[in-house]
C-alpha cells in the first residue's frame, strides 16, 4: 500500500490551499504571466530562488566536495553534429498524436492512460465502489478524462490495469495499436486520434549570422562533460575512477506541459558523470560506507508483471543479489537516498524504480529513478543510469579523439596469437587497387581461420581467400607475399573506454516535492482558517531567522541592524520585518515562508539586551542574552542541536507581549 | 596616459604564456573542441568553474544580501511578443557588411576601425615612429588589418583619430558613408564591402509542438524582472525603493566572435534592477556612505571631442556637478568600484566610461560602463544604466498590467481643473456609432481648450469640436448632453511608474580581466623558464589550500584526511596532491591555479603534529602545530589577517626538505 497525499503531519493535503500559499509567497509564478504565460515556463521568486540555491549548495557539498568531483560549466548551445552522434537527434522524442477534429496535440502515452483510467473510474462508479485515486504519474497524465458510469467485464478491468502498469514500456506503434484495439476516442470530440508520430523534444536554433550552423539547446548537461573527458582525465593527473559534475539549465520542448513545476520546458539539472573501469565488476571504494542503508525498490520484473509492489532492502544485499547491477550504481543510489533525507524529503514518500527495457533512454544499460510521492503521484526526481561506454565510444568514433584511459600494466600482458604480416612490396603490385581491400579481409580473419590459413600456406605455398568485390570473390595469395605465424606479443599499456554511472537530478521537481513534503497546517487560536507552515530543515530554508521588533519604533533600529550584521557575519541569512502588522501576523507570514527561527526585539531588549527566540514548528519560545541566542541559532542552523536541546538550556518565555501578538 | 598591458608585478604581459597556462590548468576551453569547436562558445573547467562560483558568491553578498535585494530566477526562453514590446526585436542588432568577393561577414564598426588603425600604423612606420599599440576595444576590433608604410597628411591623421575616438557613436548608414568616403577596402580582397545591414543578435527558436509560438533566448535577464514587478512590489510589502536581482545565462548571436572569453555567444550575467521614485532627484539613502570614493571617469563630451583623457573625481562631486546624473546611479557606480577591488581587480586598470548618445541601448537614458584594461585594451565588464521608466511603461501599455506604485499621499493633493461630464443618455443616441470617438476627442482636450469650450457652451448653448473621421470632421454638441465646469478634485493616492537603475555584470569578461590582473611570473631558482602565478585574493581563489604530503607514503593518509575534513568544516576548500611529483613541482602547479596557501605534511608532522604553511605570493613558510596553522588559514581566508601578520606570530620555517623540494 503506497501512502496517499498527506501533509507532513499526516493531514490530507489540500493542494488548492498549498498552491495559493506558494503563489502568495512568490515561491514561483508562471513566466510572462502578464502576457498570458507560456505553458511549461516558470519563474522563481525570492523564496523559491533561495530554496533552490540552498538545495544546490547542499548538493555541491554532498556530492562534489565530498568526493573531489571535477565541476565543469559547459554551454547550453550545442551544434547539431554533437547531438546527432549522441543519438538525440534521432531518438530523443516523445510520441504525439493529433485529434483530427479539433487539432489538439496530445502525448500518446498520456492519452492512452487518461482514457483507460477514465473507463476504470466509470466501472468503479457503476459497481458502486468508492473511487480511490490511483497514484498517477504526473509526467504522463495531464488531463483527467471525464468518466461515464459504465461497468466493464472483470477480464477487461484486469487487462486495462496491466496495460497501465507498464504504460512506460510501449513505443509509438504499440500505443497506436492500443488506441485502435480499445477504440480510445478523445472524450472531447468523440473521434480517434491520429497514429502516434515521433516529436523530437529538442529546441532548435541556428548559430552565427549566416544561419548555416544548426544547433540545439542541450537536453541534458552530460554531453559537455563527455566531450571534455580527455582534458578532465589529464586535469585529474590520470587518476581513475573520477567524476565530473555540472549544474545548469537544460531544455525539452514538451508536447503539452500542464503539471506545474513537475513538467517544464526549461529546468535546472545537477548531473554527475562518474567514470569507472568496466573491468572488475565496477566496484566502488566507498561502497562499504553505504552497504547497510535500507532502500525501497520497485524493480523491472515486478512492473512487467503488472504490479507496483515495492520491497525494502539493504543496498548491499541488492547489489549482492544483482537486483542492482553493480557497486558503483548501488553506491550512488544510496548517496542519493542520503541527500534526499538531508534536504528534508519525507523518507516514507521515496522509492527507487527501475526502468523497463523499452522505457530506458537510448544510451542506458540500466537505470533506477528516485521517485518522490506528491499529490500528483510518484514523480521521477533523479535518474541514476549506467550509460556504459556508449557516449564516449560514439564521440570517439565520430571525431577520432582518444576518449579513453591508458594505464601502464603492472604486469605486462603477454599474448600468444596468430599474426599475419603482409610483404607490401610484393602484395601491392599483385593486387593493385584491390590491395587494401584484400589486406582488410586478412585482418578481419579470426584466430581459428588464421590457424587453418597458416597450414594451407605451408602445405600449398598459397592460400585461397574469400574477398567480396574483388575478382570473382576469391583471391589467391602466395607465400612470398604474406607470412602467417604463431607469435608472442607484449602489451605494457592497457587501453579502455570507461563506463559512466550518471546520477542526474531534476532540481525543480525535487524542490516541488520538498514543498509538499514539508507543508502542513496549524489550527489558529482565534478560530480563523488553518495557517500554513513549511517545516524545511534549517539548511535549506530560504531565510534562517526572522527578526521582528515589537513595533516600528525607531528605538529598535540599532538593535535590528546590529543583529542582522552579526548573523550575516556567521553566514546565517536573516530578514527584518518591521512592518506594522502584529507580531503574530508577521510570524505567521514567515511560517509560510518556512523561516525556522524568529527573534523578537522588545522594550526589555533595550534595557538588558535579552531577546526571545521562537521555534517555527512548536511556536515555543526561550529568552536569553543576545550571545546565548546567537549561539543557539548557530547550533540549530548547523544541525548540531535541536530545539529540545535549546529548551533544556535556556529559560522558557511566555511573556504577555508575545501572547497578545500571537493571537 | 593609460597603462599598457602588464602583469600584476608590472612585467610586460606575455599573453601567449598566460593562455598556454590557462589552457593547461583547464580554466576554460573551447566548447566542442573535438568537433572543431564553435566560435564564441567556451566551457569552464574545474578552476574556472570554482573561480566563477566564488565571484558570484561575493557578488551575492556584496549586492543582494547587503541590501536585501529580491533575487529571482526567470526563464531564458522568452516569447516573441515580450521582446517585441521591449524593443529588442526591432533594435537589438549590430551592423554587418559582407565582402562581395570572398563572402566574409564582418561587423561594420570593427571593419572601419581595423582599416583606419592599419593606415595610422602605416603612417607611423613611414614617419619612422615607434608604434605604440593603441588600447583597442576588443569588443569591436577583431582582426588586425595588415599595414603598409604610407605617410598620410597631418590633417588626415587627425581626422582618422577623431573618427576612432567616437567609433561607437556611428550607426549603420554612417559607417557605410565612412567606408565610401575613405575607400576602406578589405585588405584581404582589395574590394569595398557591401553597405552595412542590421543583424538581430537574438537566437530564435520555437516553443511547443506546433511550432507556432516564436521565441528567443533572452539577450539580458532584465525583462523577466520587469514583468514580475507588481508581484515583487507586493512581496516587498509595497516598500520603495527596492531592487530585484538575477544571476543567469543570456545569449547574443555575435556576428564573428574572435576574442576568447571577451566576446561570447552564451554568457553569465548578474543584473540588478533598482526601482526608484523618479521624483525628488533619484536620491539614495546610503549615498553618504560612498560619496568620498574617488573614481576614474571618462565622460561623453571628452569622447565626442575626439579624446580619451580620464579624470579622477569623488563620486559625491561627480553627482553634485551633474557629471553623473543622480545619486542612485552614482551610488551603484561606487558600489561596483568597491566590488571590483574586493574580488581582486587592479584599481589602476579600471575606469568608468560614459556612453555617447548614439551608442546607448534603445532603452537607456544614461549609461556608464565599468571598463577594465586587458591585453586586448579596455573591456566593458559592467554596464550601469539608467533605463528610466522605459521598460515598465512599454510592458504596462502593451498588457494593461499595472506596473506602477500606488502610494497614499500624506497630504491629499487638491487639483482644480476644467472637467467635462458627458450625459450618456443624450450623448449616445446623438452620435450613435461615433459616440466613443467624440467622447475620446473631448477627453483629449487640454485645460486651455476646455476653458474656451466652457465659455462657448455658456455663450452659445453648444460647442463645435474638430473630430477627425466623424461627419465632415466637425461635430456640434449641445449643452443638454455635456457639462464643462471648473472644479476641485482630491487625489489621496499617488501613482507613478518607477525608474530603473541597472547595474549589469558580464561575469565572464570580469573573470577574464581578473585572470590577467592577477597574473605574473616568478623567476625560478634553477634557471628554468619563468613560472606563472595567479595571485587571486583568497575569497575568489578556486581552492584555498593545497595539502601536500612529503611523499605518497601511506603513513600520511590519516593526517591528510583529517586536515581536509577539518578545513571543509570551516567552509575552506582544499585539495590534496599526493602525486609523485616533487613538492616544488606540486606547489608550482598550484601557483598556476592561484591556490593561496599550502600545507606540507612531513615525517615531523607524524611526531609532533606540526605543519608548515606556505604563502603563494612570497613562497615564505612558517611552521606550527595544526591548531595554530588552521587558525592562521582561517584569518587569512576571511581577510582579517595578512601574511605579514602570520609571519610575526608564527616561527619561520626554512627546513631542508622544502628547500630541496623548491628547486
Assess whether pLDDT exceeds 50 at residue A613.
Answer: yes
Interface test with A, best of B22, B25, B32 (most A CBs within 10 A): B32
Which chain B residues are closer than 8 Å to A41 by Cβ?
A: 75, 77
Q: 3-state DSSP helix/strand/coil percent for chain B, to nearest 5?
A: 40, 25, 35
pLDDT of residue B4: 64
Q: What pairing do the DSSP bridges indicate for beta strands B105-107 and B77-79? A: unpaired
Interface test with B, best of A72, A93, A242 (most B CBs within 10 A): A72
Which of A44, A73, A206 is opposite residue B43, by nearest beta carbon? Answer: A73
Which chain B residues are closer than 8 Å to A97 by Cβ?
A: none
A248 pLDDT band, cuts 50/70/90, is very high
A38 contacts B72? CB cut-off 8 A: no
Which chain A residues are closer than 8 Å to B34 by Cβ?
A: 227, 230, 395, 399, 401, 403
The answer to whether the predicted template modeling score (pTM) of the entire model surpasses 0.80 is yes
Least Cα separation, residue A248 to chain B (angstroms)? 9
Task: Report which of B320, B328, B384 is spatially closest to residue B352, judged by C-alpha positions.
Answer: B384
Retrieve residue A631's grid coordinates: 549561539
B71 contacts A209? CB cut-off 8 A: no
Q: What would the mean pLDDT of A620-642 be, rounded to a whole number?
A: 94
* Distance separating alpha carbons of residues B448 and B462, to the nearest angstrom: 18
pLDDT of residue B143: 56
Phi and psi at A93, nearest 5°, equal -145, 155
B232 contacts A26? CB cut-off 8 A: yes
| Strand (E) or helix (H) holding A660 | helix A656-662
B208 contacts A235? CB cut-off 8 A: no
Least Cα separation, residue A227 to chain B (angstroms)? 6
Assess whether pLDDT exceeds 50 at residue A548.
Answer: yes
Q: How many CB pairs under 8 A join A and B?
A: 189
Q: What would the mean pLDDT of A68-96 be, rounded to a whole number?
A: 95
A205 contacts B573? CB cut-off 8 A: no
Least Cα separation, residue B233 to chain A (angstroms)? 11
Contact criterion met (CB below 8 Å) for A194 and A107 = no
* Distance separating alpha carbons of residues A299 and A333, to the nearest angstrom: 14
Residue whose grid cell is 526585436: B89
A71 contacts B46? CB cut-off 8 A: yes
Contact criterion met (CB below 8 Å) for B382 and B370 = yes
A105 contacts B210? CB cut-off 8 A: yes
A50 contacts B213? CB cut-off 8 A: no
Residues of chain B below pLDDT 50 = 1-3, 134-142, 656-663
Task: Report which of A373, A366, A503 is spatially closest to residue A59, judged by C-alpha positions.
Answer: A503
Q: What percent of chain A has pLDDT over 70?
A: 95
B43 contacts A79? CB cut-off 8 A: no
In terms of CA atoms, which chain B residue is nearest residue A401? B34
Got the DSSP string for B74-137? --SEEEHHHHHHTTHHHH-EEEEEE-TTT--EEEHHHHHHHHHHHHHHHHHHHTT---PPP---
Q: What pairing do the DSSP bridges indicate for beta strands B294-298 and B350-354? A: parallel
Q: 3-state DSSP helix/strand/coil percent for chain A, to nearest 5?
A: 40, 25, 35
State chain A's mean pLDDT as an integer.
91
pLDDT of residue A525: 65
| Strand (E) or helix (H) holding B452 | helix B447-460
* Distance separating alpha carbons of residues B106 and B257, to the nearest angstrom: 10
* Distance separating alpha carbons of residues A60 and A247, to the nearest angstrom: 9
B68 contacts A43? CB cut-off 8 A: no
Which chain A residues are closer than 8 Å to B573 by Cβ?
A: 65
Retrieve residue B448's grid coordinates: 486651455
pLDDT of residue A4: 64
Q: Where are the alpha helices (DSSP H) in A400-544?
A: 424-431, 435-443, 447-460, 507-517
Burial of A293 (0-12, 13-18, 19+ CB in 10 A): middle
Give chain B's end-to-end CA distance (angstroms, integer): 40
A235 contacts B46? CB cut-off 8 A: yes
Assess whether pLDDT exceeds 80 at residue A655.
Answer: no
Q: What would the mean pLDDT of A595-621 be, rounded to a whole number?
A: 95
A50 contacts B231? CB cut-off 8 A: no
Which chain A residues are closer than 8 Å to B105 by Cβ?
A: 209-210
Which of B65, B256, B266 is opposite residue A76, by nearest beta carbon? Answer: B266
B75 contacts A43? CB cut-off 8 A: yes
A217 pLDDT band, cuts 50/70/90, is very high
A255 contacts B42? CB cut-off 8 A: no
* Distance separating alpha carbons of residues B360 and B169, to the nearest angstrom: 9
Which of A72, A205, A255 is opposite residue B44, by nearest beta carbon? Answer: A72
In terms of CA atoms, which chain A residue is nearest residue B573? A65
Residue B471, phi-psi category: left (phi > 0), alpha (psi -120 to 50), beta (remainder): left
pLDDT of residue B144: 64
Least Cα separation, residue B255 to chain A (angstroms)? 5
Neighbours of A128 (CB within 10 A): 8
**pLDDT tens-digit series, residues A471-529:** 888 889 988 889 999 999 999 999 999 999 999 999 999 999 999 999 999 987 666 67
Interface test with A, best of B207, B392, B547, B557 (most A CBs within 10 A): B207
Q: Directed axis angle between helix A507-517 and helix A327-343, to 10°?
A: 50
B568 contacts A38? CB cut-off 8 A: no
Which of B39, B42, B76 is opposite residue A249, by nearest beta carbon? Answer: B76
Which chain B residues are closer than 8 Å to A228 by Cβ?
A: 29, 43, 45
A569 pLDDT band, cuts 50/70/90, is confident
Which of A52, A72, A79 is opposite residue B73, by nearest beta carbon? Answer: A52
**Chain-centroid distance, C-alpha A535:** 24
Least Cα separation, residue B70 to chain A (angstroms)? 5
pLDDT of residue B134: 47
A199 contacts B209? CB cut-off 8 A: yes
Which chain A residues are closer than 8 Å to B203 by Cβ?
A: 77, 205-207
Which chain A residues are closer than 8 Å to B251 by Cβ?
A: 77
* Distance separating alpha carbons of residues A459 and A444, to the nearest angstrom: 22
Which chain A residues are closer than 8 Å to B215 by Cβ?
A: 38
DSSP B64: I
pLDDT of residue B527: 61
Which chain B residues are closer than 8 Å to A52 by Cβ?
A: 73
Contact criterion met (CB below 8 Å) for A350 and A379 = no
Least Cα separation, residue B510 to chain A (angstroms)? 16
Q: What would the mean pLDDT of A609-615 be, rounded to a whole number?
A: 95
pLDDT of residue B660: 39
**Chain-centroid distance, C-alpha B384:** 7
In terms of CA atoms, which chain A residue is nearest residue B84? A35
A266 contacts B74? CB cut-off 8 A: no
Which chain A residues are closer than 8 Å to B232 by Cβ?
A: 26, 45-46
C-alpha distances in Å from residue A401, one per residue of A230, A392, B524? 8, 10, 35
Which of B29, B53, B224 is opposite residue A43, by nearest beta carbon? Answer: B224
Got the DSSP string for B306-359? T----EEEEHHHHHHTTSS--HHHHHHHHHHHHHHHHHT--GGGEEEEEPPGGG
Task: Report which of A395, A339, A385, A60 is spatially closest to residue A225, judged by C-alpha positions.
Answer: A395
Retrieve residue A417's grid coordinates: 596469437
- Taking the CA atoms of A647, A650, A652 and A657 in sequence, report the sign of the dihedral they define: negative
Amino acid at each position: 500500500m503506497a501512502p496517499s497525499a498527506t501533509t507532513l503531519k499526516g493531514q490530507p493535503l489540500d493542494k488548492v490551499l498549498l498552491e495559493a500559499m506558494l503563489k502568495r509567497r512568490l515561491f514561483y509564478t508562471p513566466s510572462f504571466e502578464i502576457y498570458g504565460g507560456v505553458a511549461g515556463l516558470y519563474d522563481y521568486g525570492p523564496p523559491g530562488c533561495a530554496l533552490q540555491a540552498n538545495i544546490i549548495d547542499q548538493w555541491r557539498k554532498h556530492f562534489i566536495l565530498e568526493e573531489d568531483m571535477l565541476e565543469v560549466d559547459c554551454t547550453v548551445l550545442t551544434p547539431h553534429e554533437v547531438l546527432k552522434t549522441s543519438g538525440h537527434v534521432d531518438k530523443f522524442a516523445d510520441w504525439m498524436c493529433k485529434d483530427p477534429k479539433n487539432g489538439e496535440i496530445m502525448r500518446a502515452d498520456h492519452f492512452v492512460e487518461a482514457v483507460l483510467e477514465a473507463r476504470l473510474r466509470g466501472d468503479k462508479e457503476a459497481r458502486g465502489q468508492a473511487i480511490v485515486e490511483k497514484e498517477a504519474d504526473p509526467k504522463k497524465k495531464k488531463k483527467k478524462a471525464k468518466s461515464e458510469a459504465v461497468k466493464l467485464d472483470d477480464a477487461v478491468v484486469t487487462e486495462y490495469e496491466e496495460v497501465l502498469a507498464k504504460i512506460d514500456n510501449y513505443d509509438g506503434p504499440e500505443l497506436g495499436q492500443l488506441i485502435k484495439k480499445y477504440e480510445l476516442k478523445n472524450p472531447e470530440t468523440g473521434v480517434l486520434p491520429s497514429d502516434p508520430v515521433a516529436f523530437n523534444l529538442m529546441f532548435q536554433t541556428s548559430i552565427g549570422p549566416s544561419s548555416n550552423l544548426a544547433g540545439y539547446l542541450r537536453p541534458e548537461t552530460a554531453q559537455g562533460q563527455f566531450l571534455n573527458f580527455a582534458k578532465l582525465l589529464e586535469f585529474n593527473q590520470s587518476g581513475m575512477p573520477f567524476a565530473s559534475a555540472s549544474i545548469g539549465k537544460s531544455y525539452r520542448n514538451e508536447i503539452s506541459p500542464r503539471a506545474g513545476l513537475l513538467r517544464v520546458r526549461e529546468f535546472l539539472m545537477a548531473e554527475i558523470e562518474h567514470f569507472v573501469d568496466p573491468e572488475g565488476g565496477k566496484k566502488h571504494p566507498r561502497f562499504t560506507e553505504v552497504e547497510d542503508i535500507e532502500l525501497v525498490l520497485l524493480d523491472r520484473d515486478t512492473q512487467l508483471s503488472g504490479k507496483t509492489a515495492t520491497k525494502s532492502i539493504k543496498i548491499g544485499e541488492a547489489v549482492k543479489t544483482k537486483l542492482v547491477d553493480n557497486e558503483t550504481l548501488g553506491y550512488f543510489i544510496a548517496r542519493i537516498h542520503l541527500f534526499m533525507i538531508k534536504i528534508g524529503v519525507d523518507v516514507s514518500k521515496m522509492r527507487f524504480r527501475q526502468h523497463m527495457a523499452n522505457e530506458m533512454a537510448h544510451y542506458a544499460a540500466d537505470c533506477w529513478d528516485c521517485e518522490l510521492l506528491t499529490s500528483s503521484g510518484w514523480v521521477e526526481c533523479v535518474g541514476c543510469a549506467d550509460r556504459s561506454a556508449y557516449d564516449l565510444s560514439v564521440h570517439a568514433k565520430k571525431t577520432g579523439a582518444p576518449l579513453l584511459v591508458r594505464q601502464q600494466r603492472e604486469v605486462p600482458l603477454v599474448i600468444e596469437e596468430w599474426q599475419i604480416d603482409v610483404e607490401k612490396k610484393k602484395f601491392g603490385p599483385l593486387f593493385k587497387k584491390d590491395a587494401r581491400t584484400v589486406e582488410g579481409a586478412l585482418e578481419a580473419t579470426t584466430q581459428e581461420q588464421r590457424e587453418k590459413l597458416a597450414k594451407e600456406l605451408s602445405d600449398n605455398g598459397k592460400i585461397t581467400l574469400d574477398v567480396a568485390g574483388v575478382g570473382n570473390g576469391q583471391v589467391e595469395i602466395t607465400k612470398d607475399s604474406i607470412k602467417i605465424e604463431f607469435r608472442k606479443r607484449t602489451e605494457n599499456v592497457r587501453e579502455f573506454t570507461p563506463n559512466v554511472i550518471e546520477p542526474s537530478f531534476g532540481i525543480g521537481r525535487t524542490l516541488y516535492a520538498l514543498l509538499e513534503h514539508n507543508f502542513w497546517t496549524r489550527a489558529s487560536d482565534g478560530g480563523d482558517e488553518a495557517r500554513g507552515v513549511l517545516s524545511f530543515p534549517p539548511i535549506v530554508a530560504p531565510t534562517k531567522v526572522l527578526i521582528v521588533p515589537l513595533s516600528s519604533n525607531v528605538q529598535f533600529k540599532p538593535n535590528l541592524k546590529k543583529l542582522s550584521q552579526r548573523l550575516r557575519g556567521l553566514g546565517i541569512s536573516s530578514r527584518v520585518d518591521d512592518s506594522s502588522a502584529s507580531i503574530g501576523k508577521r510570524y505567521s507570514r514567515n511560517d509560510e515562508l518556512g523561516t525556522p527561527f524568529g527573534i523578537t526585539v522588545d522594550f526589555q531588549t533595550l534595557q538588558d539586551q535579552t531577546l526571545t527566540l521562537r521555534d517555527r514548528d512548536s511556536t515555543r519560545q526561550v529568552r536569553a542574552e543576545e550571545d546565548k541566542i546567537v549561539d543557539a541559532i548557530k547550533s540549530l542552523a548547523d544541525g548540531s542541536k535541536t530545539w529540545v536541546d535549546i529548551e533544556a538550556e535556556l529559560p522558557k518565555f511566555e511573556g504577555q507581549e508575545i501572547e497578545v501578538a500571537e493571537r
